[in-house]
Amino acid sequence: MAKRIVVIGGGPGGYVAAIRGAQLSAQVTLVEKDALGGTCLNRGCIPTKALLQAAELLTSIKNAGTYGISVEGFSVDFTAVNERKQAVVKRLVNGVNSLMRKNKIDVIQGTASLLDDRTVAVSGTNDRISADSIVIATGSQPTTLPLKGIDNPGVINSDQALNLVQLPRSMVIIGGGVIGLEFAQILRRLGSEVTIIEMAPQILPAEDTEAANALEGVLKKEGIEIFTGATVTGIESARQGGEAVSFTTKENGQQERTAEKVLLAVGRSPYIDDLGADKPGLAIDNGRIAVNERMETSIPGIYAIGDVVGGMMLAHVTMDEGKCAVENIMGADVKMDYRSVPRCVYTSPGLASVGLTETEARERYKEIKVGRFPFTASGKALIANDTAGMVKIIADASYGEILGVHIVGAQATELVAEAVLGIKMEATVEDIAATIHAHPTLSEAVMEAALDVGGKTIHF
């Protein structure tokens, strides 16, 4: 008899887990309370990138004169921009539904909760689903703050920002992480005045400082006001309309910025509401479901993946965790390896990284070497008139093993794949440097940065 698996949540981790289970001949039921695809497809990765693409195209049109091309009479139709965004989302959601049918996965609409370690109930129905194993993939929700004025009508989260029907004249964004930066560039390029307030000493606090600072410089040149090392103290509805955000900085003390909207972009928190985690006695650690490296929870037969377990809240990570969990359910012995996970910011220029930052590498290794190559020295970047940024490679000085790669520049999120494979295969900088890269390409910058680790760069 086929093993029965119930997957709770149809986001990128949940639907991938379901498909992998079906491929391994399990009988799979997936329960999703909303649209398949989860936050990533419906309220995150996909719609934001559709908006970023529109903003990037607008910028290219404005800069067309650089190429000797005259463009007149263009304008932004925000309604049409949103309609295209929704069309992309709809097509991909339909694609996931098609994959469910193709793999003969039983999809149930509703909110699932655990009755015990082998039974799932679905709200609004009389369904009681028995399973040999359960995979929890309930995702996350926008994090809020215990802040005065946080419930004011002009304060929104990232989900609500994607549903705006009119472009706000101005926006204050609280949080300088990935979500905050991507929305900042979308809004600024489409015509809004934007201010970012970040508590940490740098934007993208988990990223390499040199890379983050390079991106910050470009965003400021676009007219985005950025405050780092800043603490928000409160929000008040302004008399003239909008919201006034008060904050303090070490350099300038008390500050205030007023905007039509305030976007709270301080990250996301694991979502375990209505799950019934207490019924089987699942171990919860600081709001997240505790799991081991095989994605097993404290209860045998129950697994958890993705944002609900905390850690790296990235769609591609949860997909891999989903495969890991189901393969273990089906008898394999698979362990998650987070050493070679790419981290991406889809601004223009983008920022993509894998492995250790320079600070982390210096803390963990006796001696390291660092190589850099700026895109100002790249023929392909010059052709594209997109020379901002660099490639930075950090390596162990003893053996040349690649420890971290950080890319700020055009197509950074595509270029990082080579670095991810390099770290996964425990490659050395010599391996990258000795690999012939096509010319002219942006990828040559990766090779040149590897050469620079040994002081052998050719074109800079």
> Strand 4-8 to strand 27-32: parallel, antiparallel, or no bridges (unpaired)?
parallel
Whether the pLDDT of residue 126 is over 80: the answer is no
Q: Which of 307, 254, 359 is nearest to 137 (CA)?
A: 307
In sequence order, the β-bridge partners of residue 407 are 352, 391
Query: Phi/psi at 235 (nearest 5 deg)?
Result: -130, 135
Which whole number is the average pLDDT over 307-327?
Answer: 97
In the chain, % of residues over pLDDT 70: 100
Residue 243's region, left for phi above 0, alpha for psi from -120 to 50, else beta, is beta
Residues 6+ apart with CB under 8 A from 426: 401
- Please report, rounded to a whole number, the percentage of residues in the chain having pLDDT higher than 90: 97
Mean pLDDT, the chain, whole residue set:
96
Asked whether residue 210 carries a pLDDT value surpassing 80, the answer given is: yes
Task: Enumerate residues 6+ apart whose C-beta is below 8 A from 268.
Answer: 39, 140, 141, 142, 143, 307, 313
Nearest alpha-carbon partner for 391 in 340, 457, 314: 457
pLDDT for the residue numbered 1: 78
Global model pTM greater than 0.75: yes
Distance of CA 74 to the CA centre of its chain: 31
State pLDDT tens for residues 168-207.
999 999 999 999 999 999 999 999 999 999 999 999 999 9
Q: Which domains does the chain carry?
A: 4-141+269-329 (3.50.50.60), 155-266 (3.50.50.60), 343-453 (3.30.390.30)
Gap between the terminal Cα atoms of the chain: 64
459 is catalytic: no
Is 347 in a helix, a strand, or coil? Answer: coil
252 band by pLDDT with thresholds 50, 70 and 90: confident
- Burial zone of 79 (CB within 10 Å; 0-12 exposed, 13-18 middle, 19+ buried): exposed
Length of the chain: 460
Quickly state the pLDDT bin for 251 (edges 50, 70, 90).
Answer: confident
Q: Indicate whether 124 pLDDT > 80.
A: no
**CA pair distance 166, 181, nearest whole angstrom:** 20
What does the block give as tokens for 434?
A: 């000795």
Average pLDDT over residues 148-156: 96
129-132: Cβ within 8 A, 24+ apart: 129/6, 129/29, 129/31, 130/4, 131/4, 131/5, 131/6, 131/29, 132/3, 132/4, 132/5, 132/301, 132/329
Going by pLDDT thresholds of 50, 70 and 90, the confidence category of residue 130 is: very high
List beta partners, residue 30: 7, 107
Whether the per-residue pLDDT at 133 is higher than 80: the answer is yes
Which pLDDT belongs to residue 188?
98
Cβ neighbour number for residue 430 with a 10 Å cutoff: 18
Q: Residue 150 and residue 147: Cα distance in Å, rounded?
A: 5
Asked whether the predicted pLDDT for residue 355 surpasses 80, the reply is: yes
Average pLDDT over residues 119-136: 92
- Over residues 143-165, mean pLDDT: 95
Predicted local confidence at residue 127, as pLDDT: 80
For residue 125, the model assigns a pLDDT of 79
Res 43 pLDDT > 80? yes
- Residue 99: the pLDDT is 98
Residue 4 CA to residue 27 CA, distance in Å, equals 5
Task: State how far the Cα of 194 lies from the Cα of 20, in Å rounded to an integer.
Answer: 43
Written as six digits, the tokens of 112 are 């699932």
The residue from 406, 437, 439, 459 that is catalytic is 439
C-alpha Rg value of the chain to the nearest Å? 24
pLDDT (mean) for 291-314: 97
At 68, which amino acid appears? G
- Structure confidence by residue, pLDDT tens digits, 378-428: 999 999 999 999 999 999 999 999 999 999 999 999 999 999 999 999 999
Distance (Å, whole) CA 94 – CA 399? 49
> Alpha-carbon distance 453 to 456, whole Å?
7
CA trace torsion 182, 267, 172, 253 (10° rounding): -120
For range 244-269, the mean pLDDT: 95
Taking the C-alpha atoms of residue 322 and residue 8, their distance in angstroms, rounded to an integer, is 12
Over residues 25-47, mean pLDDT:
96
Give the pLDDT score at 240. 83
Over residues 315-332, the mean pLDDT reads 98
Q: Is the pLDDT of residue 145 over 90?
A: yes
